[in-house]
Amino acid sequence: MLDGLTAKAAGALPLYAVRADGYAAFLDGLPASSAGFLRATGFGAKAGEYALLPGPEGLAGAVVGLAPDGSPWAFGGLARGLPSGTAWRLAPGPQDAVSATLGWALGAYRPGRHKAAGLAPAMLEIPEGAAEAVMMAEAICAARDLINAPAADLGPAELAGAVATLAARHGGTCTIVEGEDLAREFPAVAAVGGGSPRAPQVAMLHWSGADDGPLIVLCGKGVCFDSGGLHLKPPAGMLRMKKDMGGAAVVLAAAEMVMRSALPVRLLVLVGAVENAISGTAMRPMDVLRTRKGLRVEVGNTDAEGRLVLCDLLAYAAEQSPAVIFDCATLTGAARTALGPDLPALFCNDDALAAQFLAAGAAVHDPMWRLPLHAGYESWLDSPFADLSNVAQKPMAGAVIAALFLRRFVPAGIPWAHLDLYAWNDSTRPGRPEGGEAQCARSLYAIIVKICRVSPEAAGG
């Protein structure tokens, strides 16, 4: 059971949820003493605002303000804000049980690998109809655990092992490609990880919820630590680089949601698990690398390694004739400069898919923002020594350039969406504790649910 959630608990106190526009009517329905207390304390039912209700023997309950848009974050501060160890049940009201449970559970999460648990969270009885929220929260918290793990604990082998464990748990299969096979089949991945004593691997998860379902491919950047390679990052730029495998964690979270929901799709998850380290065998600036697709890439910057990992995964994905390809990566600082930490950048070669994806993200409060695949910048990737460079020589549009690089490895006609995300919360907010975050995992799940609602032919399968 997740922290903060429980089955039926004796003595659970009522938690009332109220919208600001219904607050006056709510007060009229309370005992006069409780209504007078809330008025006296200035409670106004703002989104996420909560207050305890006193009773003759201590606590009589609590009340929380709902967000106008139904966001789960209104409940995100309760597990750690209400008294430690107390048990609560949702009172009948306007709240959505899935949203409430999800926000509560995500707010209860704390990393526990190397830190004592501290005070226990308040506990919420899982309400009827909230099984999906529990499933999503468990998948997201597992992804957070992966991202929060120190790089000393989570190298390429451990990340690939997490893929294998997930496959086995849900009746899928996992193939690990390494050594000579990796150098032959995924040469760019092998080159990126060639400087580390912890050998690179590609983990390939296969799962089927329907033999005739559309094939969905999820590709994740799994750079377990990024030193920048020979283009060494400065100390400040290296501090959070254990999170550079956040894209892999996100696709694993989305895959877990798909498999636990038994969606009628065929699922292929590809994780390029590497460490970008420095040694005598590390790739060098101006090296020319072979890729799976056959294109030769000049290394303009060894710190632009994520796109080299993804390009081989995308080439393999395209060979499988999928209905759609999604990739997730903590790819560029330029995306963060443009959109900040909370809005992943979406690049997509299919306008209909992009519109559906944006709508799905908005509906589940897991947003993204579309940026253009501007063809006018294609020539910026030209190299005099290879088919293309992995970076542009102009210090502009870095996220667009990275996406244009990846597009070279996806044939026209295959719908493809690329998410350049941060995978981290810089500080604790309701439902989003400081540390790793599975941004867009719920959006991916939501768009795959939408794809299931059309025929395989319409989906491109």
Q: Phi, psi (5° rounding) for residue 49?
A: -70, 135
Q: Which helix (DSSP H) or strand (DSSP E) does residue 401 occupy?
A: helix 398-407
Is residue 242 part of the annotated active site? The answer reads no
Residue 185 bridge partners (DSSP): none
Is residue 292 part of the annotated active site? The answer reads no
Closest residue by Cα to residue 246 from 356, 363, 179, 336: 336
The amino acid that residue 204 corresponds to is M
**Read out DSSP for 101-120?**
HHHHHHHH----SSS---SP
The amino acid that residue 276 corresponds to is N
Locate tokens 């848009």: which residue? Answer: 69
Q: How far is CA 144 from CA 96, 141, 260, in A?
A: 24, 5, 18
What is the C-alpha to C-alpha distance for residues 50 and 66, in angstroms, rounded to an integer?
A: 10
What is the C-alpha to C-alpha distance for residues 270 and 351, in angstroms, rounded to an integer?
A: 24
* Token pair for 368: 């993204």
What is the C-alpha to C-alpha distance for residues 271 and 252, in angstroms, rounded to an integer?
A: 9
* Token pair for 69: 């848009």
Asked if 209 and 263 touch (Cβ cutoff 8 Å), the reply is: yes
Asked if 341 and 368 touch (Cβ cutoff 8 Å), the reply is: no
* Token pair for 210: 């329907």
> Cα 111 to the chain's mean position, in Å?
16
Q: How far is CA 253 from CA 18, 62, 138, 270, 335, in A?
A: 31, 32, 9, 13, 22
177 CB-near residues (< 8 Å, 6+ apart): 185, 186, 201, 202, 203, 204
User: Diameter of the chain by CA atoms?
Assistant: 81
User: Pairing mode, if any, of strands 296-298 and 173-177?
Assistant: unpaired
Q: What angle do CA 137, 142, 147 make, to 5 degrees?
A: 125
Catalytic residue among 46, 233, 296, 370: 233
Asked if 349 and 323 touch (Cβ cutoff 8 Å), the reply is: no
What is the C-alpha to C-alpha distance for residues 294 and 455, in angstroms, rounded to an integer?
A: 33
Catalytic residue among 292, 293, 307, 408: 307
Residues with a known catalytic role: 233, 307
